Structure 1
């Protein structure tokens, strides 16, 4: 009887699924449905459901058969380095638009350095939509 109680109290291994890459996913590439497969077994830090990773961008190269870790993924960039962007400055009721060039890659909500084409000055701004960066006085989200 005590043996049965001890057996029930011992920690039992938990079996879970983990996602692994089915092909080489290069850094900056967006993960698609066919790029990952479910594998039996628990891998620390690995995603467990394709819904978690599809549409995210790889921050590092993920090799076939290797686990797809959530730490290696992030939101997809909507502004690429050297893209032409619209710089938006808002203060009260005043809105100023200017053309700029992105000096880095960024996803929605990320900060990026932008060079004003007219003045050649570089400023920091937050990406608010595709090709649009809000500069100047900004509130944190």
Structure 2
């Protein structure tokens, strides 16, 4: 009898949980705890922890009951397109600062194109937590 119970417990598939939207969420909306919930479902590629979605920004429309994938959300934007941003180039003890115009929208850690306002040169840089765009080696 015990072996039958053990076999039964091993044969039942473990049901995973998936993070879904509790309401329709428009792109560029920052997700709060009331916007996501867990449902008993096993959707490959979907988030399994609500903490991974809370505080993130929707990149696409999220619909009620649909699984949320990591590619659907991202860091909240610190920089908007056409915003004037500080550029910082650092190499060893050398630091050069300039102003630039953001050519894309992005959040901390993302790489965007920025036009240096002094030279009119377009460069790629990574957005720092403080909103500075770091260009050059190690950015």
TM bracket, shorter-chain basis = 0.7 to 0.9
1:86 deviation in Å?
0.5
2-side partners of 1:112 and 1:106: how far apart? 7
Q: Is the 8 A contact 1:86 1:133 kept in 2?
A: yes
Q: Which residue does the alignment assign to 1:74?
A: 74
Q: Which residue does the alignment assign to 1:21?
A: 21
SS of 2:128's partner is: strand
Q: Is the 8 A contact 1:84 1:131 kept in 2?
A: no
1:60-139 maps to which residues of 2 (within 5 A)?
A: 60-136=60-136, 138-139=137-138
- Is there any run of 5+ residues in structure 1 with no aligned partner, and where? none
TM-score by structure 1 length?
Answer: 0.82
SS of 2:34's partner is: helix
- Residues 1:17 and 1:92: Cα distance change in structure 2 (over 3 Å): closer
2-side partners of 1:93 and 1:48: how far apart? 44
User: What are the Cα deviations for residues 8-67 of structure 1, in whole angstroms up to 9, with x where unaligned?
Assistant: 486312123222111112223221111112223333222233212101122221111211
Q: Which residue does the alignment assign to 2:57?
A: 57
2-side partners of 1:109 and 1:48: how far apart? 23
What RMSD over aligned residues (CA atoms) do the two structures have, in Å? 2.4
1:33 equivalenced with 2:57 (yes/no): no
- How many residues of Structure 1 are paired with residues of Structure 2 in the alignment? 139
1:115 deviation in Å?
0.7
Q: Is the 8 A contact 2:108 2:131 kept in 1?
A: no
1-side partners of 2:130 and 2:96: how far apart? 18
Runs of 4+ in 1 over 4 A off after TM superposition: none
